Amino acid sequence: MRSESVRVRDWRRGARTLALVVAAVAGLAGHAMAAPDEAALQRGRDLLAAGQPAEAKQAFQAALDADPGSVEAHLGLGRAYYAMGEYARAVIEFRSVLNLDNLPRDLQTQAEAYDSVAAEYTTGAWSPFFYGETGVGVYRENSSDSTDLFGGAGNHDTFLPVRAGGGWSKSVTERHSFNGTLDYRFRWYDDKDRRNDSDLRWNFNLARPVDDDNLRFGVRGRVSYRGDGNYRNDWGLFGTYELGFGENDRVAVTGEVRERRYPSGPLRSRTRDIAQLTANWTHSLNDGRTSFGLGGSVGQEWSTQERIDGDASTWGFNGDFNHSFSNTLNFFLWFAYENEGFDEERPDFTTDEDLLVQRTDDLWYLGGGLVWTFAPGWTLRPTVEYDYEDSNIPALTYSKTEVWLTVRKQL
């Protein structure tokens, strides 16, 4: 078992990393601020209120030319893009000031959430949004090396998905914003032998625009129920720098240190500390109606209990695609891959109890769906997801397909 002193040393390294991010924020607080163009800002407000977003866009762009770090000009420009149906450009612009986590994958819903927050943000008040979602779905376990060994391929269950939560932003200085989100997810399965899933995700961060860029740092995590009284608690510290390259491109680089803790029970040995670095690029095209993103990650896991597989190194890549057919119909597609390589040898009981192997996993995820806005704030969301988790230890392979249809209300 790893000694407590080694574990403390790992977290001290993470704390020093966070301190560098805090120091950077403190340095940016002294960044020289240009004089705002109040006439251009007022013209943008009036044109947006009058339903002339194209003209408002020009006014807010003029305000940004005078003061590239103007919070109101960035948010006003994002709202103008949203009103014109240029959802990808709207999200890119909103993220120069605000950051809301745990949003759906489709750009229209993301842009709607940011727009509702931005509409009240400059008043200095708390700017919240809320949502609720439910429907029906089907889970199916696919054929894999594991099912070949133990059976079970073709098992399927109906489930009831429920999701609720919200977020908010609040200006704390002329340039800084405090952002937070809470997202609760629950699944009830009609099979009494299968556990019901429960998951609460949270994120709190402080953000600041730096001209077209954005710097933020904060804490985030989740509490997940794992059946039979077992829970998984994640929490971590992160810092992100996003670089804006005009109206069509944005690159985000994030560093994070976190703990994944299983407090008690048979899963306690999976407790570990994690450090991860990610980078993601988002590109808007087709006048903001279409976007795609590409990203990658590298990480390291340190087992703090007697995990049979030991420590692990991880790397992966991901991508997404969004297209708005109209202001009421959006298509989205996403994929992710991750490789996990462990450093301890373990028995492979499915072949030879005396054979020791170092475990290596290849995790593939693919999903997509449609989002139809059938009334203001109401969307119908058919979605499909395919997961394939391969391993050099056959008993650990797993594959599933899920299809669900939900209705979401966002306020």
Determine the Cα–Cα distance for residues 215 and 264; give it in Å rounded to an integer.
37
Cα–Cα distances in Å, from 132 out to 44, 163, 164, 181?
Answer: 33, 6, 4, 14
pTM of the model: 0.86
Structure-block tokens of residue 268: 């306690």
Closest by Cα among 135, 105, 91 to 331 = 105
Higher-confidence position of 54 and 352: 54
pLDDT in tens, 245-263: 999 999 999 999 999 999 8
pLDDT in tens, 149-163: 766 666 789 999 999
pLDDT in tens, 357-372: 899 999 999 999 999 9
DSSP state string for 88-151:
HHHHHHHTTT----S--SSHHHHHHHHHHHHHHHTTTS-EEEEEEEEEEEEEEEPP-HHHHHH-
Determine which helix (DSSP H) or strand (DSSP E) holds 115, and give its type and residue range.
helix 107-121
pLDDT in tens, 198-211: 999 999 999 999 98
The Cβ of residue 333 has, within 10 Å, a number of other Cβ atoms equal to 15
pLDDT tier at 32 (50, 70, 90 boundaries)? very low
Tell me the percentage of the chain whose pLDDT exceeds 90: 66
Domain residue ranges of the chain, discontinuous segments joined by +: 4-30+68-410
| Half-sphere exposure of residue 180: CA atoms within 13 angstroms, side-chain side | 9
Q: What is the mean pLDDT of residues 303-310?
A: 87
Closest by Cα among 376, 399, 371, 296 to 339 = 296
pLDDT in tens, 307-323: 889 999 999 999 999 99
Structure-block tokens of residue 91: 């999200």
DSSP state string for 353-401:
EEEEEEEEEEEEEEEEEEEEEEETTEEEEEEEEEEEEEESSGGG-EEEE
3-class SS of residue 173: coil
Q: What is the CA radius of gyration of the chain?
A: 23
Residues sharing a CB contact under 8 Å with residue 52, sequence separation 6 or more, in sequence order? none
Determine the Cα–Cα distance for residues 137 and 157; give it in Å rounded to an integer.
8
The Cβ of residue 93 has, within 10 Å, a number of other Cβ atoms equal to 33
8 A C-beta contact, residue 247 and residue 61: no
Residues sharing a CB contact under 8 Å with residue 228, sequence separation 6 or more, in sequence order? 195, 265
8 A C-beta contact, residue 406 and residue 383: yes
8 A C-beta contact, residue 125 and residue 116: no
Q: Which CATH architecture has domain 4-30+68-410?
A: Beta Barrel (2.40)
Terminal Cα-to-Cα distance of the chain (whole angstroms): 49
